[in-house]
Amino acid sequence: MYFHVQRLINDIEADEPDPAAANALQEGLGGQFGEMRTMMQYLFQSMNFRGPAGKPYRDLIQGIGTEEISHVELIGTTISRLLDGSPRYNGEKTDPLDTPGAGGATPLNLALDQGNIHHYLVAAQGALPVDSAGNPWSGSYVYNSGNLVLDLLYNLMLEATGRLQKCRIYEMTNNKTARSTIAYLIVRDQAHENGYAKALESLGVNWNTLLPIPKTNAERFPEVKKLTDLGLQSKQYTFDLAAQSEAGRIFQGMSPSKDGTNLVADEQAPQGVPSTIAEERFEEFSPGLDADLLALIQASAEIEMAEVSQTYGPVAPTS
Amino acid sequence: MYFHVQRLINDIEADEPDPAAANALQEGLGGQFGEMRTMMQYLFQSMNFRGPAGKPYRDLIQGIGTEEISHVELIGTTISRLLDGSPRYNGEKTDPLDTPGAGGATPLNLALDQGNIHHYLVAAQGALPVDSAGNPWSGSYVYNSGNLVLDLLYNLMLEATGRLQKCRIYEMTNNKTARSTIAYLIVRDQAHENGYAKALESLGVNWNTLLPIPKTNAERFPEVKKLTDLGLQSKQYTFDLAAQSEAGRIFQGMSPSKDGTNLVADEQAPQGVPSTIAEERFEEFSPGLDADLLALIQASAEIEMAEVSQTYGPVAPTS
Amino acid sequence: MYFHVQRLINDIEADEPDPAAANALQEGLGGQFGEMRTMMQYLFQSMNFRGPAGKPYRDLIQGIGTEEISHVELIGTTISRLLDGSPRYNGEKTDPLDTPGAGGATPLNLALDQGNIHHYLVAAQGALPVDSAGNPWSGSYVYNSGNLVLDLLYNLMLEATGRLQKCRIYEMTNNKTARSTIAYLIVRDQAHENGYAKALESLGVNWNTLLPIPKTNAERFPEVKKLTDLGLQSKQYTFDLAAQSEAGRIFQGMSPSKDGTNLVADEQAPQGVPSTIAEERFEEFSPGLDADLLALIQASAEIEMAEVSQTYGPVAPTS
Amino acid sequence: MYFHVQRLINDIEADEPDPAAANALQEGLGGQFGEMRTMMQYLFQSMNFRGPAGKPYRDLIQGIGTEEISHVELIGTTISRLLDGSPRYNGEKTDPLDTPGAGGATPLNLALDQGNIHHYLVAAQGALPVDSAGNPWSGSYVYNSGNLVLDLLYNLMLEATGRLQKCRIYEMTNNKTARSTIAYLIVRDQAHENGYAKALESLGVNWNTLLPIPKTNAERFPEVKKLTDLGLQSKQYTFDLAAQSEAGRIFQGMSPSKDGTNLVADEQAPQGVPSTIAEERFEEFSPGLDADLLALIQASAEIEMAEVSQTYGPVAPTS
Amino acid sequence: MYFHVQRLINDIEADEPDPAAANALQEGLGGQFGEMRTMMQYLFQSMNFRGPAGKPYRDLIQGIGTEEISHVELIGTTISRLLDGSPRYNGEKTDPLDTPGAGGATPLNLALDQGNIHHYLVAAQGALPVDSAGNPWSGSYVYNSGNLVLDLLYNLMLEATGRLQKCRIYEMTNNKTARSTIAYLIVRDQAHENGYAKALESLGVNWNTLLPIPKTNAERFPEVKKLTDLGLQSKQYTFDLAAQSEAGRIFQGMSPSKDGTNLVADEQAPQGVPSTIAEERFEEFSPGLDADLLALIQASAEIEMAEVSQTYGPVAPTS
Amino acid sequence: MYFHVQRLINDIEADEPDPAAANALQEGLGGQFGEMRTMMQYLFQSMNFRGPAGKPYRDLIQGIGTEEISHVELIGTTISRLLDGSPRYNGEKTDPLDTPGAGGATPLNLALDQGNIHHYLVAAQGALPVDSAGNPWSGSYVYNSGNLVLDLLYNLMLEATGRLQKCRIYEMTNNKTARSTIAYLIVRDQAHENGYAKALESLGVNWNTLLPIPKTNAERFPEVKKLTDLGLQSKQYTFDLAAQSEAGRIFQGMSPSKDGTNLVADEQAPQGVPSTIAEERFEEFSPGLDADLLALIQASAEIEMAEVSQTYGPVAPTS
């Protein structure tokens, strides 16, 4: 069973809209090696897992899988912010937004030569479940052979490929909004890479100096370095509300990346930051309410809410 | 940010393996109107939501969306159980499983005339991210126009179609494992249908006697009736760890289904039941460990785990 | 601009339901060489046609394309009839249909081992826009190179392949409902094959004895022979309401099939037969109206209709 | 059975070629909410319709479905015109077209940075059965649950989404060729939205002020306003040659859009305008005939045509 | 540059037709982990290879890739043989084949309940480029990250998964035709697994007892044991006509499978067996020639052939 | 069985990188009428061929099919070269490549507005198995009806369409690297067109002046003219190592293109040119080895290779 808290797993830095960067990030969301894929792959591997003796392995996969849902939320929101208000992109400061189409205006004409016109035509300046070339995410991506060693090997390769692609995206844009999320995911992918590599070490493999893949020097990527200096590449959260996860039996000891750190899995979750709701975009008819409908919405907002009876979760971290 | 607890949202009744029923249930998992679709659609609608005034609507969608992840987990596990051990299906009691292929044996020969041979050839008797006709789930299913009224209308139609298809699946099998999950999801789909219908009522629509769609009498479906007698079709959980959801502003008052109940949203989550890990299946080489590898796994199970520092979630409900 | 008359282009013989035959016919509807494909391909070739001098060729393509829409209607309705009421298929005369799911009944259990479970789970015993293996129809099938010779060559090959596949379907079933439509389409495909072959003859090609493809003796297929005896393989209708089509400039003279007939294009359309509306299927919740909704429908049926002002079409042929 | 007349359902205004606008319009042709989809969806819903009592509903769907074929023809032709001759796009007045590739010339070099290179490489400056992001149209788009209420609800949502997307396309371009068709389709989509909304009203729903979706003021879109001033959003044609359609029992009374008009369905079809055939494009080898082949074509044009015997349709409106 | 010799890489044992086994084998041909995929993946990895220092690795990939084309040929031919003549399958000894459809006969009626009806309707009892669930092979399967370590890791996983699936297929059928090819491919997949594992060993990895994956005892599979007794799992051919391959620098030394063998790469290619051409199938209209066309073919067979000037390849091994 | 020699079938001229041209060429590699399609189609037609009397036809198809693998290798390598080093494209001479991402650099920023961002993000400046609009190659493209006449007709149309599209690509770019390969393939496509046309002539068809399609004058395309002056459009190689091909029985006599040449099939293969391995691209982490891993690779390069025992192929032509 899954729960949610209205916080993003990491902060998204503010910057100008950047539809080209947004489209590159789509690979990290809906691409073959993006977050929707890892999320779904680990969910299926967890549901179909065989062999009670392997619970620590199942719990490792399940915990990383739960984190991936928050990564989908993070990168999806990032893409949304990069697109939001982009008709004013490139310093075009006159604001055509308030009166969409007024007198035959064309506030959305920038859409015609962007990476994916669907960002404007279909998704109202929001994220899409597609990759950076516009291919919809497909269930055929999910790998779950049922063979534990193969599943671990695939997951290691999957995380490393995701990290490789994000390093390439990093080199495509210096938009701060894009980079704050990319850098975070590069580091978390390495943490997951470490997790699966360690699981294979527990089955006898000695990686020697092969890891991490790709071989990157964090120093080249200042935004990444800040996070590895904090050791985020060697930490795994459980995201488990009842402390039943045994992932920590695997995620411990010397990092397979041989960066001098030890793996630790002694926290439930990162702190995160509060999430917010985006502004109206009239030129997209989104949310597209007129005065009458808005008044009705206001009315429902004034209704007294019932007290919710809770089992999980104190209020503290959300303040 | 998302969290997990190692409990299923509803109990799955035990019964014989039934690969044909398993395949029918795939529609409810990976079909165009199945749980993967609702989960992803509501996740995208939440990330891309516009208009801070509409927070109660966003929270309604987000809360239902969180529940859908648990539905994916529930129906995926149900399919997995219906397939598990199915070479012994149909009373074939001699056990060919222990020695796969021994002397040229064919323990998997039943796979050749099942609904989806991939259940055995690819997924090791587990669930797949495909529909009942074998089509992989596609990102092109996700609808998120950014227009609030359209999104709500679509969601209403989506839940009603999901429920319609599950009523048809109900009529295809009387396997108890299959039906315990189908009946639960029929009732929860109606709760979600009520939620979106109510949201549209708050914008002025009067549904009169049109709902629920389809018009079904719970009395015909004994397993469904048990749950509607408990009022499960009129309840919505927040699944929100910090009690910030305002979905209750909408999900309240007389049910749009006009069944004499009132909608209530005053609980965080259902109790659920502990989840378990499936047995080895040697004929699938799953998990496929030999004695040496098993010994290594045992070793890691004996490592002392670190104490996890928790922010959310007491231990009580998991016992 | 297109018009419709509530008549089927050919009669569909009555017989028992036959879901396996229905599924085979899906290839002729939604397959790569089926009627949806020919309909769309010719529609695109007509819209994109270049070269005013080539009007007779455009008109030939456009006229055949219009006929293909009626073929989609014909084969779709045939599939629908083959599926309709199929829970009573195979002489299972007890009627489970009136009370779907009553007390946990399984009237749709036959769906589990049919060619395409979607016929019951998704389409309420109706036709689907997919092929006989369940693949959805794809826009990538449409061929329109813009090069006249290539387009004609492709169309000839397309019609011949469609006819080849229908000959194979003929050999798969002797259900009369299925065969009445298959036989009709085999003959009409040959007429179209003749049309495109003739168009290429007008550009200099001499086919000698190569046609028709496949080389079939109508005598082997009694239902086909009845129609070729009437010369239906050598006739092309214009389906043009204003007699502007110049297709007859091409579709004339000795048949390229060398069967002793001449091609003729001197009629607007066949007579056709009145179409009817299928019965309710309660087990499918289709149309799924309860007494209240039915009463409302009755009410609208009693409203006096406005007189329609007509430009095209006398009433005579519809009586 | 279907018929055709060589007239377009609405006039297409002349303007410069505009490949970017052409690509945006592809969404309205081959997109998930475009005209190919509505056409096919209503065709399937008509063929598979259940319940003779619901004939007025079937006839409404079938009539709109017939209109959609003409919309496919209209928007396809519009795209074709926007692409036609586009190597001279942007005032590049030197004419590279007459001698494609002569001496190694590159008349098609503009294709490299257009929205969809296939417009030049595959389709010879013509329309494609794909959306604006290049995805081929898919049969999986078609929705036909067999449940009348759900099908109507979906159709309402479908028309509103189509209209929403066309409003966005309107804001992307001010090319007159593109806008004349977009504006027409915005208004016709609203007519269809009104039709399905009215059908649901006849089943008891009161929409209050919710419609139309999206909430747009025609005043903002001058080209749209011209058509709504004529009441085109409140009119539905039967396109039925034998006056058997009962759609008028539903399509009558006060418009659900509450714009002060009444719905009327008392005409068979709009007048339309004659359609024409596009010019040769040598650089595309389309139609690609040399002098010899052209002479042969001329020959066939001189053949005397047979007199066509007609049942439907006077000559008058085509003059 | 590639060359062909009219010999199959391994012998296919004769047995009865078996369409169910044929369909299972489709996974090994057109499945996500089948031979078309390995062939294409290694072809792309070879073309796009970076780093002249890595030539031995490129040559290893290229040599295995060349072998995979012969595997496509082998498994495709095997499927073709399993389907060929299958209307007589299951001992139905009366021969309906000579007179397809005669008097309305249904020689192809078995097609209706087979794994893939396309084997009869589309492919004339031949192999298809699809998997065992009917999904067409997709270019999106090909993995080529450009990162050498990742590509090797993926290839190792790919070969192991292919072998895992073939072990499962082995357990589904005991048809000798099917098994002779499956057993051969199980052993060759292990040879390739050894090759990629060895390449990673050369980069420092110590696999300890992890390999092979899956852990299978050849003794269980008699047909496999025969081949491993010959050491076929530890041999790699170059398939290189000019002896330029440096794959042998990697494919040497102790087998990573730790089965006591050493890897050897000192042969150009296996001997193979002559390939033959299948018989006519009249019920499929394949090849579908009548007496006239057959006479024309005979004529061309009598033409004297030109002497071919050869650069590569003596005649000896083909006798 | 297939063999390889490390030579390209034709030389690729050197020129500047040109990612736009690279993307256009993708149509010729992974497009519906590209080399992957012809290669696979002929491979399947060869494996499934029926009728021993038709061996010359099978051998013609098989020989052309073998050539197509070398065409895939040629065009794939060409695309790879056009992309290689393209961050320095357009004269941007400062070299950002050595230190990817250093200090937050963006050497890959050109990727954001190229035809297919995947060339940089996924494929490390290499070729992809997709078309020019980014659609992955699909097994559904392969046509193999089993009917000899239809398969030949389709193949003729396929080669002509491939050639038509390549003529259009020629007109899109004058990059010499792109054109050297395009021109070669235009000419070879015509040779294949001649082969299939001749095969149909042997069955009685008289093409008169219809061929070649498209009607192009080689004089317009200087790079093409050079090759037709050498008669390359009228030559077919066997690529058969044991001289068993009977394709020469068909591929002889007057060319169906009526260009005054005779068809000849008396050579095994063209000479070709040696192939090379591309340089490292640090910004792509390809191959992504650090000093340690590189040292290990060096070590394996120093191992003494075993002597390969050869059956086919002398060393001469590779020098």
C-beta atoms of B214 and D153 within 8 A: no
The torsion angles phi and psi of A137, rounded to 5 degrees, stand at: -60, 145
Q: How confident is the model at residue D314 (pLDDT cuts 50, 70, 90)?
A: low
Q: Helix or strand or coil: residue B97?
A: coil
Which pLDDT does position F93 carry in this prediction? 55
Say yes or no to pLDDT of F316 above 60: no
**CATH class of this structure's domain B7-318:** mainly alpha
Say yes or no to pLDDT of F96 above 60: no
Other C-beta atoms closer than 10 Å to the C-beta of B304 total 8
Q: How confident is the model at residue B303 (pLDDT cuts 50, 70, 90)?
A: confident
Say yes or no to pLDDT of A81 above 50: yes
B 125-164 near A (Cβ less than 8 A): 125-130, 136-140, 142, 144-150
Q: Is F99 on the interface with C (CB under 8 A)?
A: no
Contacts of F133 in chain D (CB under 8 A): 116-118, 130, 134
CA distance A89 to chain B (A): 19
Lowest mean pLDDT among A184-193, E26-35, E288-297, F26-35: E288-297
Q: What's the mean pLDDT in D180-191?
A: 98
Which pLDDT does position A314 carry in this prediction? 65
Say yes or no to pLDDT of F319 above 50: no
Task: State the DSSP H helix or E strand holding residue D3, giving kind and residue range, or none if neither.
Answer: strand D2-4
Domain spanning A7-290, CATH architecture: Up-down Bundle (1.20)
Beta strand F235-237 with D273-274 is unpaired
Strand partners, E267: E237, F309
List pLDDT tens digits, range D71-92: 999 999 999 999 999 988 776 6
List pLDDT tens digits, range D218-271: 778 999 999 999 999 999 999 999 999 999 999 999 999 999 999 999 999 999
Omega prior to D212 cis, within 30 of 0? yes
Q: Higher pLDDT residue, D206 or A300? A: D206
Q: What's the mean pLDDT in E58-84?
A: 98
Contacts of A121 in chain D (CB under 8 A): 24, 27, 132, 165, 168-169, 172
Which pLDDT does position B181 carry in this prediction? 98
- Neighbouring subunits of D (3+ Cβ pairs under 8 A): A, B, C, F
Q: How confident is the model at residue B103 (pLDDT cuts 50, 70, 90)?
A: confident
Other C-beta atoms closer than 10 Å to the C-beta of D256 total 24
C-beta atoms of A204 and E213 within 8 A: no
Contact (Cβ atoms closer than 8 angstroms) between residue E100 and residue C168 = no
Beta-strand (E) ranges in chain E?
A: 2-4, 7-8, 235-237, 253-254, 262-267, 273-274
Q: How confident is the model at residue C127 (pLDDT cuts 50, 70, 90)?
A: very high
Q: For chain A, give the mean pLDDT.
A: 93
CA distance C19 to chain E (A): 10
Q: What's the mean pLDDT in A157-180?
A: 97
Which pLDDT does position D97 carry in this prediction? 52
Which pLDDT does position F91 carry in this prediction? 64
Q: What's the mean pLDDT in F12-22?
A: 97
Q: What's the mean pLDDT in C8-37?
A: 98
List pLDDT tens digits, range E250-286: 999 999 999 999 999 999 999 999 999 999 999 999 9
Say yes or no to pLDDT of B92 above 70: no
List pLDDT tens digits, range B233-242: 999 999 999 9
Other C-beta atoms closer than 10 Å to the C-beta of F242 total 22
Contact (Cβ atoms closer than 8 angstroms) between residue A149 and residue E212 = no
List pLDDT tens digits, range A208-255: 999 999 998 777 899 999 999 999 999 999 999 999 999 999 999 999
Q: How confident is the model at residue E298 (pLDDT cuts 50, 70, 90)?
A: confident
The torsion angles phi and psi of F266, rounded to 5 degrees, stand at: -110, 20
Q: How confident is the model at residue A306 (pLDDT cuts 50, 70, 90)?
A: confident
C59 annotated as ligand-binding: yes
Q: Which of A258-267, C93-102, F91-100 has the highest mean pLDDT?
A: A258-267
Which pLDDT does position F217 carry in this prediction? 77
List pLDDT tens digits, range C248-268: 999 999 999 999 999 999 999
- With CA atoms as reference, the chain A residue closest to B40 would be A129
Q: How confident is the model at residue E51 (pLDDT cuts 50, 70, 90)?
A: very high
Q: Which two tokens stand for residue F289?
A: 């080895």
Q: Is B90 on the interface with C (CB under 8 A)?
A: no
Instruction: Report d(CA D162, CA A285) in Å as an integer.
Output: 13
Q: Is E34 on the interface with F (CB under 8 A)?
A: no
Instruction: Report d(CA B239, CA D170) in Å as an integer.
Output: 41
Omega prior to F212 cis, within 30 of 0? yes
Tell me, what DSSP letter sits at residue E139? G
Contacts of C110 in chain E (CB under 8 A): none
Q: For chain B, give the mean pLDDT.
A: 93
Which pLDDT does position F318 carry in this prediction? 45
* Assigned CATH for D7-96+107-318: 1.20.1260.10
D 209-268 near C (Cβ less than 8 A): 238-246, 248-250, 252, 264-268
Strand partners, F4: E2, E240
Instruction: Report d(CA D245, CA D247) in Å as an integer.
Output: 6
Q: For chain E, give the mean pLDDT.
A: 93
Q: How confident is the model at residue C319 (pLDDT cuts 50, 70, 90)?
A: very low
Q: Is E172 on the interface with F (CB under 8 A)?
A: no
Which pLDDT does position C91 carry in this prediction? 63
Which pLDDT does position A54 carry in this prediction? 96
Pick the CATH number of E7-288 from 3.30.300.130, 1.20.1260.10, 3.20.170.30, 3.30.565.10: 1.20.1260.10
Instruction: Report d(CA D160, CA D162) in Å as an integer.
Output: 5
Please name the member of C164, C168, C223 whose beta carbon is closest to the beta carbon of E108. Answer: C168
Lowest mean pLDDT among B138-142, E142-146, F94-98, F273-277: F94-98
Q: What's the mean pLDDT in B133-162?
A: 98
Q: Is E117 on the interface with C (CB under 8 A)?
A: yes
C-beta atoms of A108 and D172 within 8 A: yes
B59 annotated as ligand-binding: yes
Quickly name the fold that domain F7-289 has: Ferritin (1.20.1260)
- Neighbouring subunits of C (3+ Cβ pairs under 8 A): B, D, E, F
B13 annotated as ligand-binding: no
Say yes or no to pLDDT of C83 above 50: yes
List pLDDT tens digits, range D95-105: 555 577 888 88
List pLDDT tens digits, range F28-67: 999 999 999 999 999 999 999 999 999 999 999 999 999 9
Each residue of D229-247: b (16+ CB within 10 Å) or e?
A: eebbbbbbbbbbbbbbbbb
Q: Within 13 Å of residue E265, how many CA atoms lie on the same side as its CB?
A: 30
- Neighbouring subunits of F (3+ Cβ pairs under 8 A): A, C, D, E
Contact (Cβ atoms closer than 8 angstroms) between residue B172 and residue B24 = yes
Beta strand B2-4 with B7-8 is unpaired
C-beta atoms of D111 and F24 within 8 A: yes
C-beta atoms of B106 and E171 within 8 A: yes
Cβ within 8 Å of residue C16, ≥6 positions away: C89, C175
What is the ipTM for the molecules in this complex?
0.96
Q: What's the mean pLDDT in E14-41?
A: 98
| F156 Cα distance to chain centroid | 18
Q: Which two tokens stand for residue B137?
A: 């789930």
Tell me, what DSSP letter sits at residue C65? H
Say yes or no to pLDDT of C276 above 80: yes
C-beta atoms of E297 and F203 within 8 A: yes
Which own/partner contact pairs does A296-299 have at CB distance under 8 Å and 24+ positions apart? A296/B202, A296/B203, A296/B204, A297/B53, A297/B54, A297/B57, A297/B202, A297/B203, A298/B53, A299/B202
- Neighbouring subunits of A (3+ Cβ pairs under 8 A): B, D, E, F
Contacts of F313 in chain E (CB under 8 A): 241-243, 268, 312-313
- Using CA atoms, how far residue F183 sits from A293, F99, F167, F171, F268, in Å, is 63, 37, 8, 11, 22
